[in-house]
Copies of this chain bind each other. A is one copy, B any other.
């Protein structure tokens, strides 16, 4: 086995796991320490609803890069936590519009602050132009695989 392949393997682990899971774990810990009973996955759904409410489940799939069953279950749990409500669309009865509850809205400010902190922790000492370039590379990777 040529050594080259293991080098690529290292690169693979960088891209697929290490940094991204570290960020998610850090944010999750901040949530837990703040007494917020919320998973990162649930937060990532709320995030897109804070930008624009009343999205359909399909729109949430596209926004969060998840498939439909994943969104169904995440919304099940978010409804149990009374953070969102499914509201049947009047125009098209197949569609659920997902609405934030008061409680769901209230979480925005605090959790976004914790997310910002997490990113600041993560990116400390990384120059802005390198952040931009890294973002470009990751976007390119995503586009390449679309």
Chain A residues in the interface with B (C-beta under 8 A): 1, 5-6, 8-9, 11-26, 44, 47, 50-51, 65, 108-109, 112-113, 115-116, 118-119, 121-126, 130-131, 133-142, 144-146
A1 adjacent to B112 (CB under 8 Å): yes
Chain A binding surface, main DSSP class: helix
Q: List the B side residues contacting A122 at CB < 8 Å.
A: 15, 141, 144-145
Q: Is the CB of B141 within 8 A of A8?
A: no
Q: Which 3 A-B pairs have the closest CB atoms?
A: A19-B138, A134-B137, A19-B141
Nearest-CB residue, chain B, relative to A113: B5
Q: Shortest beta-carbon distance, A43 to chain B, in Å?
A: 10
Given A20-B20, A122-B144, A51:B6 Cβ within 8 A: yes
Chain B residues with Cβ below 8 Å from A22 are 65, 141-142, 145-146
Residues from chain B with Cβ under 8 Å of A25 in the complex: 145
Bound complex: CA A26 to CA B146 (Å):
9
In the bound assembly, the distance between CA atoms of A67 and B24 in angstroms comes to: 15
